[in-house]
Structure 1
Amino acid sequence: MREFTVPPLATTPQAGGLADAVFDHADDDPHRVALARKTADGHWQDVTSGQFRDEVMALAKGLLARGVRFGDRVAIMSRTRYEWTLFDFALWTLGAQSVPLYPTSSAEQVFWTLHDSGVSSCVVEHEDHAMTVGSVVGRLPQLARLWQLDAGALEDLLAAGESVEDEMVERHRRAMTPDQPATIIYTSGTTGRPKGCVITHANLMAECDNIVERFETAFHSKPGDEAATLLFLPLAHVFGRMVEVAAIRGRVKLGHQPNLSAAALLPDLQTFQPTFILAVPYIFEKVFAAARRKAEAEGRSGPFDKAVDVAVRYAEAQEAKAFGTGPGPSASLRMQHQFFDKVVYSKVRGAMGGRIRHAMSGGSAMERRLGLFFAGAGVIVYEGYGLTESTAAATANPPERTRYGTVGVPIPGTSVHIADDGEVWLRGGQIFTGYHNDPKATDTVLRDGWLATGDLGALDDDGYLTITGRKKEVLVTSGGKTVSPVGLEERVRAHPLVAQCIVVGNDRPYIAALVTLDPEAVSHWLAMRGKPELPPSELVRDPDLETEIRRAVVAANTAVSHAESIRTFRILAAQFSEEHGLLTPSLKLKRKAIEQAYAVEVEALYH
């Protein structure tokens, strides 16, 4: 199949903007719990739709009092927290545009984003961020205001707005139209200087309203309960912004968690108890790895592995039944599944708060077997695909017919086309209007209403999309063999000891790989074998560890031809990190930067 279209379920309003939902919901049901914010003592405090509307209005008045006007751009540099959502909707109430900055951005990245977007005001979370902005403010003559959240900025703005009449804010809100820009989100820059994607109110409405309509049943733990989600993705990323807007528009109780580490996230999942989450594969990999390490430490690795096998086979049987190719789980398999649900699967769900039955995954590919395990364990993960330019998801697996290992079918209102060279093209109401200040780059990706994604993929006969790689990342060996590295890398990463893998081999005689280790998994592995903790530089030379990683590489090679297989590898002592410029903020590999940083190690793979 070369093209597949799913008609829309929601129509974009002809007037108004994103902030209208806040005011409409407060009018409809002011006492409904809309959000929850974490207090200083660690408890979750409910925020009703009426309270949130009043806070948005008060902040909008304060921003007006401090000089923010219709069409102004205001940057936000912060981790994921309640105040970000409050500022977003206050700015949208005024017809202003928010420009997100990753909290880990360097001074030069901050300068480029603020300069290119022409922001007049900037909100930062704490003093370190303020100092980063301060270091480049001399080169930003248009930047007039800097507010620091942890230094009382919100309180100051609320006080400043007390003398402003509500009608002044309402005039701004009534002037809004859906085609107005809502935000400019800068791409993470894997292939050069970040470009600002102009996302309109209509783009976010088309994206979020169709997702809410299509997936509403998946938001609940059981029919009729309150839908709730904990947002821990960075709000500087389009996926996080989509979750924020969809939760507010879809009347889903929204909480914020600023730390993506398992140690910080898992306790908040247990206290907030979301009914569904939206995450990247890394989160599901961490939950699974932690469960397996716990079982192994307690001497129950055998039963755990059996439970994994049963979950995978159970989910495969359900998948086959949904597509009409099988009868579903057998009586014997159902009995085994029921047993393991009590002793294993319920604990996995408990680690995520206990109420989660559905999740959405995006940002990068999830391994099919991992998706099957979670489905068999009672948490169906709907994998999807999208870009900043498509306002997050363009495809997603439908709740009633999930095909694991694919990124699903087009979301309602979206078309997917496979070009002659295998490139994925997208069309729909959520496709961005273009790159800010860069018409040449815009013209290279927008073609007669279609977005050329740069990703390679294939549609099956049912319209399910599989992503096979990126056009710019395809390797060509000196022997002329074309290799897409992503699939190989994912299979190597499936080993619990592996944190990251990058495949190299462009213009080389064969394919090779650099591998980094997961410190928690390695510590557990050493302890279970009675081995002492070693410095990373010595650890990578451990012959037993090398044998384990070789197993991962051999397993990955079974899925490809000999010419495409990894012939040799090198274990590195340190992980690739965002701080060293080797990962994007969404944890994607910066391939050129890694190959430059590890040029000596790469060269050694071929001698």
Structure 2
Amino acid sequence: MKANNLVEAVARTAQKHAGKDAFLWKLEGGWHGISYETFWNKVKHLAAGLAYLGVKRNDKVAILSENNPYWPAADLAIMSLGAVSVPIHSTLPPDQVTYILKNAECTFMFVQDDFFLDKIPEADRVPTAIIFPPDNFVQTEQIVSLQHVASLGYNLPYENWEYNWSNLKRDELATIIHTSGTTGNPKGAMLTHGNILSNVEGVQFWVLEAKPSDILLSHLPLSHVFERMAGQFMPLSIGCTIAYAEGIDKVQENLLEVRPTVLVSVPLLFEKVYATAQQMVESGTPLRKKIFKWAINIGLKKYEYYLSQSFDEMMKNGFLPKEITRSWKIANALVYSKVKKKLGGRIRGLISGGGALNPEIGRFFWAVDIPALEGYGLTETSPVVCTNPMVRSKVGTVGKPLPNLEIKIAEDGEVMVKGPSVMKGYYKDDEATAETFRDGWFLTGDIGSIDEEGYLKIVDRKKRIIVLTTGKNVAPQPVENAMTQSLYINNAVLIGQDKKYVIALITPSLENLLPWAKQKGLTTDVNQLLKEPAVQQLLTKEVAKFTSKFARHEQPKKVVIIGKEWNVQDGELTPSLKVRLPEIQKKYGEVIELAYAEEMFTDMRIAANEAAVGLSINPERRGSRE
């Protein structure tokens, strides 16, 4: 029987897998665990303490913290009272934190420590803030510790607690998650218990069936809907163990320590793994390069066979033809196993979401025997709409719709969705809600197409399609993805609305560029390094190389090299690591205009106090009306 609400789904697991580790986290150099039974008791005591403090049904309670076991405890304690949790990205600047607190009308909040609490001006703080275990803490009437709240609940138990949460229905509001806000202020998507539960059920059926024996390494922010569903509620409803990474910069180290069986992540991490593998090959001997290339070709033959056969045919004829089997085993020993070890050695599947995965990178992972399952979704759909199933994953697409969802393509190419995981609407914004629905269908804002086998391919955001003055249209996302396939390019943005041609803004991957520069005997001072003709030539050649397969009007005619990596704190990226185009256009507007205004654009320019180099590529094409 299906659970009626998210709390019930976890309660069932806590009873069934009481002694099993629910969470792992690293403290003082060692990994520590907490069992499902102990975790559930903490949720119970915390909920009772919140009730004593006055949290009641439909109250809005914020959570501002990085990932740790207190996060899901707070989340479930809030929901168990019929209250609504409001996650806030820990990397957001103070003005956006304040905006969300006010927009959602929060009266209580959980906060990690003083550092995060100080993000909120005292005048804008909620009446009661509950701080996770701090090193030094002085309690006041407005600021209390989580231990104090849990202690209140332990000494003053909430007698009707189980009755209260067991009677929560699927259509009741569970959480308000604010969109990343790539344009304008974020909107609060209202998601019910049924919205998220139906997504968990659809993903579990369709993708990579999670098992209680699975271990997941959680490193995406729990404030993001993708990690909240796939990295919290899905594993907790199954009985998996969730290990919290120490931070994005420690993921590689933690992968080797935890050795997860399933990795849920965004394309950025997979791009880094791919780049590391390519760098290892490039620095190797000619023989190593030859072996690697041969092994990848064998892996691709296996993947192509897999795509060409139905499941019944594979069961009848064998998963792999005999003529490939021997070569594949050798390739596995020489290459695949070494790549797998970089991910801990036990990965049985990668789940990629939160952005488009470059098809070349997707094929690479399949070639080295690591299934990479790309999906697609939005905050408003809880989030997964489509995903590639394990049985037949088609690289270059985002898969088929979950079995409990419907999709269709509007006349203008926009993807429309209908089903139980679609949000109730935007909190306190009826106008935006009305604009987002048409005849019961949710309008995603994405342009896509469905192939003859029912797989969806996303072209780009509807509002991001670039219209040139020549009349030609450019979908920037595929071109940007191609550029970031380079070892030396971290982020890439295509610009060109109402211009004759497109240009690219790129940020170099300093992680790979600095060792290259050192090897070439060049300076390792970043600002000086970008003035080096050899570096400029390298980066422009990389852009030209990786965009050569596109139509000539889609290829950037000029490149602006930004002298810093973009990040969330400075506003260039959203918390889900998508580029915030309006911020980029505002910050680098002067350099962008100069790039279009000058015939030759090769001197150093300053934009927003950051070094930016503008360079032309394919100069013989300048003035072309392609």
TM-score in terms of structure 2 length: 0.88
C-alpha contact (below 8 Å) 1:315/1:373 kept by paired residues? no
1:270, CA displacement in angstroms? 1.9
> Match of 1:466, SS?
strand
C-alpha contact (below 8 Å) 1:311/1:374 kept by paired residues? no
1:24, CA displacement in angstroms? 2.2
Aligned residue number for residue 278 of structure 1: 264
Aligned residue number for residue 207 of structure 2: 215
For 2:7 and 2:190, locate their aligned partners in 1 and report how far apart those are by CA, in whole Å. 18
Aligned residue number for residue 49 of structure 2: 62
1:578, CA displacement in angstroms? 1.7
For 2:323 and 2:506, locate their aligned partners in 1 and report how far apart those are by CA, in whole Å. 40
Q: Does 1:118 align with 2:105?
A: yes
C-alpha contact (below 8 Å) 2:190/2:424 kept by paired residues? yes
The answer to which of 510-519 and 286-295 deviates more is: 286-295
Letter in 2 for 1:194: P
Aligned residue number for residue 401 of structure 2: 410
Distance 1:101 1:483, change over 3 A: same
Aligned residue number for residue 40 of structure 2: 53
Letter in 2 for 1:397: N
Letter in 2 for 1:122: M
For 1:483 and 1:296, locate their aligned partners in 2 and report how far apart those are by CA, in whole Å. 33
1:209, CA displacement in angstroms? 1.6
1:476, CA displacement in angstroms? 1.0
1:29, CA displacement in angstroms? 4.2
> Match of 2:159, SS?
helix
The answer to which of 412-421 and 570-579 deviates more is: 570-579
For 1:259 and 1:603, locate their aligned partners in 2 and report how far apart those are by CA, in whole Å. 38
Letter in 1 for 2:190: V
Q: Does 1:550 align with 2:540?
A: yes
For 2:390 and 2:373, locate their aligned partners in 1 and report how far apart those are by CA, in whole Å. 7
Aligned residue number for residue 377 of structure 1: 368
C-alpha contact (below 8 Å) 1:491/1:555 kept by paired residues? no
CA-based RMSD of the aligned residues comes to 2.2
C-alpha contact (below 8 Å) 1:212/1:250 kept by paired residues? no
The answer to which of 562-571 and 383-392 deviates more is: 562-571
> Match of 1:454, SS?
strand
Q: Does 1:510 align with 2:501?
A: yes
Distance 1:424 1:587, change over 3 A: same
> Match of 1:156, SS?
helix
C-alpha contact (below 8 Å) 1:34/1:248 kept by paired residues? no
Q: Deviations over 1:307-351 (max 9, x none)?
A: 444433432343233599999866565444322311222121112
Q: Does 1:265 align with 2:257?
A: no
C-alpha contact (below 8 Å) 1:477/1:508 kept by paired residues? yes
For 2:554 and 2:277, locate their aligned partners in 1 and report how far apart those are by CA, in whole Å. 33
For 1:325 and 1:192, locate their aligned partners in 2 and report how far apart those are by CA, in whole Å. 51
Distance 1:61 1:265, change over 3 A: same
For 1:70 and 1:34, locate their aligned partners in 2 and report how far apart those are by CA, in whole Å. 31
Aligned residue number for residue 128 of structure 2: 145
Distance 1:331 1:382, change over 3 A: same
For 1:545 and 1:340, locate their aligned partners in 2 and report how far apart those are by CA, in whole Å. 35
C-alpha contact (below 8 Å) 1:247/1:253 kept by paired residues? yes
5+ residue gaps, structure 2, are: 138-144, 599-626
For 2:541 and 2:22, locate their aligned partners in 1 and report how far apart those are by CA, in whole Å. 46
Aligned residue number for residue 623 of structure 2: none
For 1:176 and 1:114, locate their aligned partners in 2 and report how far apart those are by CA, in whole Å. 25
Q: Does 1:27 align with 2:15?
A: yes
Letter in 2 for 1:597: K
> Match of 2:365, SS?
helix
Q: Does 1:294 align with 2:277?
A: no
For 2:543 and 2:224, locate their aligned partners in 1 and report how far apart those are by CA, in whole Å. 32
For 1:402 and 1:286, locate their aligned partners in 2 and report how far apart those are by CA, in whole Å. 22
Tell me which of 394, 411, 415 is aligned to 1:420: 411
For 1:310 and 1:523, locate their aligned partners in 2 and report how far apart those are by CA, in whole Å. 33
For 2:473 and 2:437, locate their aligned partners in 1 and report how far apart those are by CA, in whole Å. 27
Aligned residue number for residue 191 of structure 1: 183
1:145, CA displacement in angstroms? 0.5
Distance 1:195 1:305, change over 3 A: same
C-alpha contact (below 8 Å) 2:45/2:157 kept by paired residues? no
Q: Does 1:536 align with 2:526?
A: yes
C-alpha contact (below 8 Å) 1:104/1:579 kept by paired residues? yes
Aligned residue number for residue 180 of structure 1: 172
> Match of 1:514, SS?
strand
Letter in 1 for 2:385: A
Q: Does 1:233 align with 2:216?
A: no
1:171, CA displacement in angstroms? 3.8
Q: Does 1:474 align with 2:465?
A: yes
Aligned residue number for residue 83 of structure 2: 96
Tell me which of 580, 583, 599 is aligned to 2:573: 583
The answer to which of 531-540 and 229-238 deviates more is: 531-540
> Match of 1:22, SS?
helix
Aligned residue number for residue 351 of structure 2: 360
For 1:369 and 1:147, locate their aligned partners in 2 and report how far apart those are by CA, in whole Å. 46
Letter in 1 for 2:50: L
C-alpha contact (below 8 Å) 1:178/1:201 kept by paired residues? yes
For 1:324 and 1:594, locate their aligned partners in 2 and report how far apart those are by CA, in whole Å. 50
Letter in 2 for 1:277: L
For 2:575 and 2:523, locate their aligned partners in 1 and report how far apart those are by CA, in whole Å. 30
Q: How many aligned residue pairs are there?
A: 582
> Match of 1:199, SS?
strand
C-alpha contact (below 8 Å) 1:209/1:250 kept by paired residues? no
C-alpha contact (below 8 Å) 1:481/1:564 kept by paired residues? no
Aligned residue number for residue 524 of structure 1: 515
Letter in 1 for 2:28: D
> Match of 1:132, SS?
coil
Tell me which of 190, 193, 203 is aligned to 1:201: 193
1:269, CA displacement in angstroms? 1.6
1:537, CA displacement in angstroms? 2.5
For 2:566 and 2:18, locate their aligned partners in 1 and report how far apart those are by CA, in whole Å. 47
C-alpha contact (below 8 Å) 2:245/2:254 kept by paired residues? yes
Distance 1:603 1:440, change over 3 A: same
1:442, CA displacement in angstroms? 0.2
5+ residue gaps, structure 1, are: 1-10
Aligned residue number for residue 463 of structure 1: 454
For 2:205 and 2:594, locate their aligned partners in 1 and report how far apart those are by CA, in whole Å. 53
User: What is the correspondence of 1:311-390 to structure 2 with a 5 Å cutoff?
Assistant: 311-322=299-310, 333-390=324-381
Letter in 2 for 1:82: P
For 1:354 and 1:557, locate their aligned partners in 2 and report how far apart those are by CA, in whole Å. 34
For 1:603 and 1:121, locate their aligned partners in 2 and report how far apart those are by CA, in whole Å. 46
For 1:318 and 1:546, locate their aligned partners in 2 and report how far apart those are by CA, in whole Å. 42
Letter in 1 for 2:90: P
RCO higher in structure (CA 8 A, sep ≥6): 1
The answer to which of 441-450 and 290-299 deviates more is: 290-299
C-alpha contact (below 8 Å) 2:349/2:370 kept by paired residues? yes
Q: Deviations over 1:343-394 (max 9, x none)?
A: 2221211121111011110011111121111112121011000000001110
TM-score in terms of structure 1 length: 0.91
> Match of 1:19, SS?
helix
Aligned residue number for residue 165 of structure 1: 157
C-alpha contact (below 8 Å) 2:8/2:166 kept by paired residues? no
For 1:384 and 1:334, locate their aligned partners in 2 and report how far apart those are by CA, in whole Å. 30
1:254, CA displacement in angstroms? 1.8
Q: Deviations over 1:15-43 (max 9, x none)?
A: x4211123223333423x25122252333
For 2:247 and 2:476, locate their aligned partners in 1 and report how far apart those are by CA, in whole Å. 30
1:301, CA displacement in angstroms? 4.5
Q: Percent identity?
A: 29
Aligned residue number for residue 616 of structure 2: none
Letter in 2 for 1:248: L
Distance 1:12 1:206, change over 3 A: farther
For 1:216 and 1:484, locate their aligned partners in 2 and report how far apart those are by CA, in whole Å. 31
